[in-house]
A and B are shown apart, each in its own frame.
Chain A
């Protein structure tokens, strides 16, 4: 046993050294960020400085990351940390007071607002962009359009074979995001439970054969490699390795492909707002960041990231 321990010492020391090195780096950057005025260029008006956190939706993360990067480039004394475990996590963090901005791909629930008020937090909602929630399949799949009712039946495991919706005779591998995800909740309410249709049924839940995946990236790569897979993702995640399905409200309607145009003109049936939540109306640094996001320049980044900008 002693030998075992001895042999373990060298790697352990190495790991410690590396860890210490990293800690050194990160503390350096945070002190730079939090010390106002140390590197302020003389020619500019009072420069912004400080740091804040954005936690929440996996869908919004690529967009927030682009905004944060551009904002930090323009204001070198600002540091922004973006992480995207899911909208539910972001809202829970906002309620617990562990984040400055919560990014969400679904609206906050009334029960969550009550919890927030109980914790002395006042959620303030700002729409920063829109999204066409896209349903994706493998490019080799002959199915190219589905009604909301068919999608609901697929996600409740009532339809289990592609031939029932006009495809090959193969089992459907149904994939969804886990409960951390705002997309999980939005899709459940608007597609599985068919909100806004005459067949609306709030007792419907995801079927128990549905695969719940921890990240959107994993779902997209699974669909890209599995000819029988189906998954949903924000428009920004749709790439050439997968095929987006045209969605129709009812069998009589025309199927609409998800895109910036169809989301903006309201013809795509499952589009949604992407939101930021703060505790009370934003002030100071966070206000200037959000102002940047909503500016024409910020909204250009929305289009560049594959999302839908706010209607002008």
Chain B
């Protein structure tokens, strides 16, 4: 592509038609390149699904699927091993839910403030700082959780230990906040100015304009932001591994120590011999995690579709 561009001016003096043909050829190459890139993503996705199924399904010959899903005992290195992932499943749902409940209202409110209320100078200064937050490695967040947040949570709720689901959920909400703020601010900023002008012309206050015009109009962007945030919370591993406590019981409250599906995979994959039973069980956990995120995505898509139709009316 680069070559095409540099040689084109040299031959331009010769014939105009040759140049045009060259440009058309360049366009074809670029088109093909983009098509290939798009296909590659699909191939990679299919490959991942294939490997998850191939490595994960054989474990169900040892542990039936219902026992695997609803069993509460996970002893992969015992003889014979038992695999029950109910505690991990419940922990993942609990931590993700709490972190979403914390991060979405704060995130969307911050985005609305930045897009609609804040002076341009504040916005230009604050937004890049928030985006830098998104780049903090998860190990660092784990350290912060261990050193600062867990003693605080422990004394606040008078717990025997600060390593618990709540600590992990708060850290995760801090990790998904920058994504939610940044992407939904972009969406709100893109709402046509005419919409707001019309709203103000009808006598609406700034609050009413934000609540009834800006947020609904930017809803698809905000929903995408929330999905990205939830996706980060479900998939985050290192922070959770470090601060969630790692107990194997089905958590009864958010202040119990717990192990999520991602943490169970990370802490078990190292000593699993390729093709062994534990290896298969861990891939099956990965498969279920994949299905869970897929379900969340499809659900969000549906909700979004309905919202869009409502707004269009």
Contact = CB atoms under 8 A, between A and B. Distances in A.
B218 to A, nearest CB: 13
A218 interface: yes
Contact of A209 (B73, B78, B182, B249): B249
Interface string A242-273: 00000000000000000000000000000000
A205 interface: yes
A178 interface: yes
Nearest to B78: A205
B182 A4 contact: yes
A3 B267 contact: no
A226 to B, nearest CB: 6
A211 B161 contact: yes
B246 A211 contact: yes
Interface string B258-270: 0100000011101
B273 interface: yes
A239 B55 CA distance: 43
A95 interface: yes
Nearest to A1: B186
B182 A222 contact: no
A1 B182 CA distance: 10
Given A92-B270, A218-B146, A111 B246 contact: no
A146 B161 CA distance: 22
Interface in A218-250: 218, 221-222, 225-226, 228-229
Interface in A1-21: 1, 3-4, 7-8, 11
Interface string B29-53: 0000000000000000000000000
Interface stretch (A29-37, A67-75, A83-91, A275-283): A83-91
Interface string A189-228: 0000000000000000110111111100010011001101
Given A1-B186, A171-B160, A211 B247 contact: yes
Contacts of A206: 248
Interface string B265-281: 01110111110100000
Contact of B271 (A8, A11, A91, A111): A91
A88 B75 contact: no
Contacts of B248: 206, 208, 210, 212
B135 A212 contact: no
Contact of B245 (A11, A171, A211): A211
Given A1-B186, A88-B271, A179 B161 contact: no
A111 B249 contact: no
A164 interface: no
Contacts of A91: 271
Given A4-B182, A179-B76, A92 B247 contact: no
Given A7-B131, A11-B135, A218-B146, A89 B270 contact: yes
A212 B260 CA distance: 12
Contacts of B270: 85-86, 88-89, 92, 180
Contacts of B274: 92, 96
Contacts of A210: 247-248
Contacts of A4: 131, 182-183, 186
Interface SS, B side: loop
- In this complex, the member of B247, B271, B276 whose beta carbon has the largest number of chain A beta carbons within 10 angstroms is B271
A208 B87 contact: yes
A229 B163 CA distance: 12
B186 A3 contact: yes
A144 interface: no
A115 interface: yes
Contacts of B271: 86-89, 91-92, 179-180
A179 B75 CA distance: 9
A214 B243 CA distance: 10
Contacts of A172: 160
A132 to B, nearest CB: 23
A226 B131 contact: no
A205 B74 CA distance: 10
B294 to A, nearest CB: 24
Contacts of A3: 186
A28 B242 CA distance: 34
Contacts of B267: 178-180, 212, 214
Interface in B179-217: 182-183, 186
A135 interface: no
Nearest to B248: A208
A173 interface: yes
A228 B77 contact: no
A212 B259 contact: yes
Nearest to A8: B131
Given A212-B246, A212-B248, A226 B161 contact: yes
A222 to B, nearest CB: 7
Interface of B: 72-73, 75-79, 87, 128, 131-132, 135, 146, 151, 160-161, 163, 182-183, 186, 241-242, 245-249, 257, 259, 266-268, 270-274, 276
6 contacts: A7-B128, A92-B270, A170-B160, A205-B75, A208-B248, A228-B161
Minimum-distance CB pairs A-B, first 9 = A88-B271, A89-B270, A208-B249, A212-B246, A178-B267, A208-B248, A171-B160, A173-B161, A180-B270
